[in-house]
Amino acid sequence: MPTPENISFCAGTLREGQLVAFPTETVYGLGADATQDRAMAAIFEAKGRPSFNPLIVHVPDMESADALVTLDERAMALAEAFWPGPLTLVLPRRSSCSVSLLASAGLDTLAVRIPAHPVARRLLQETGRPIAAPSANRSGAVSPTTPLHVAESLAGRIPYILADGRASMGLESTVLDLSGPSLGLLRPGHILREQLEALIGPVSLPESSDTQAPRAPGQLASHYAPSIPVRLNATSVQAGEALLAFGPGLVPGHPVTHLNLSDQGDLNEAAANLFAMLRALDTPDHTAIAVTPIPDTGLGIAINDRLRRAAAPRS
Ligand code: TXA
Ligand code: MG
């Protein structure tokens, strides 16, 4: 756990316009003061991220969110139920919104979330500014769930990592677009579609085809991609492959390396392990990563979403 002094130091660093990677309950974020254009440009630069992909802005409380975006009744109901937590809402920017237009990538909307992680919350409170934070990895790579992953991805590109062990949830937040007439789930996550619909009615699913101008880069076909092929729904292992299994079942074949997302078949455990295990198996010792089927229900929907992108050919 970082000391209060470390957190204050990083808050000062952020206010100066520099980048700080910090822990959230979902994945590590690459933070910068969202009110500074140059700090936003520095995020896109460090990540190698196309600047047409907008960023999530993190705030410590409802007042701070309300200063940036228009919260309608649906947003209020969702915020009440799920904030702080792994839900991002895309909402209309207020004309008085202090956030750099670069964070919105030219859209008239802004993605906002109040994270639950105590270090993130304290950092946000101390910084006193909205903090834009994409996942702290190079664009297109697997999201980081430990400080070591951040260092592997961004060493030499960012001055500080506020380290606090492993991110407990392991998958990025659910992203819901509330800005248009039809509500769209832009990215599945821990907060399930059913949970959203129970409060605000029907929510449409992300489009399966993402060839043109995605609303969210999480929608790009190839995202979260390891450097070796990922083979989904494997029922046996081929020579040279690593096995990423789920649950207690036996898989025929002789994997070079064998990891299990959850021996018990627990989807929460699998979500928390997913990115770290993909990274661990992404080595030249393996020709590919064979992944056994994962139930497409509940949190399995978000896990399968990330796996499909990891398996998609790189464009
Ligand atoms: O769990 C998370 O959300 C993590 C932690 C650090 O908070 N952050 C994260 O950020 O995953 P990033 O940049 O990797 O993903 C942000 C997602 C992208 O799919 C992006 O396109 C979408 O949110 N997004 C951001 N602003 C948007 C907007 N105005 N309209 C539509 N989508 C937006
Ligand atoms: Mg990301």
Q: For residue 214, is pLDDT > 70?
A: no
More confident residue, 2 or 210: 2
Sequence letter at residue 216:
A
Whether 161 contacts 21, CB under 8 Å = yes
Sequence letter at residue 56:
I
CA 173 to chain centroid, in Å, comes to 6
Calculate ∠ Cα 59-98-10, nearest 5°: 50
Q: For residue 210, is pLDDT > 50?
A: no
Cα distance between residue 35 and residue 6, in whole Å: 22
Summarised one tens digit per residue, pLDDT across range 239-256 is: 999 999 999 999 999 999
Summarised one tens digit per residue, pLDDT across range 127-137 is: 999 999 999 99
pTM: 0.93
Cα distance between residue 166 and residue 15, in whole Å: 26
Residue whose tokens read 């007042």: 63
Count of beta carbons in the 10 Å neighbourhood of residue 168: 16
Summarised one tens digit per residue, pLDDT across range 267-308 is: 999 999 999 999 999 999 999 999 999 999 999 999 999 999
**Around ion ligand 2, which residues have CB less than 5 A away?**
135
Ligand 1 binding pocket includes 220 (Cβ within 6 Å): no
pLDDT at 216: 57
Ligand 1 binding pocket includes 134 (Cβ within 6 Å): yes
pLDDT at 181: 75
Helical ranges in the chain per DSSP H: 4-15, 37-47, 62-68, 73-82, 118-127, 147-154, 193-200, 267-281, 300-311
Sequence letter at residue 217:
P
Per-residue tokens: 127: 């910084």
Which among 48-57, 222-231, 271-280 has the top mean pLDDT?
Answer: 271-280
Question: How confident is the prediction for the chain on average, in pLDDT?
Answer: 93
Measured in Å, residue 171 CA sits from the centre of ligand 2 at 10
| Percent of the chain whose pLDDT exceeds 90 | 87
Measured in Å, residue 136 CA sits from the centre of ligand 2 at 7
> Which ligand 1 atom sits nearest the alpha carbon of residue 53?
21
Ligand 1 binding pocket includes 149 (Cβ within 6 Å): no
| Residue 107 pLDDT class (50, 70, 90 cuts) | very high
Cα distance between residue 169 and residue 269, in whole Å: 8
pLDDT at 207: 60
DSSP string, 44-64: HHHHT--TTS--EEE-SSHHH
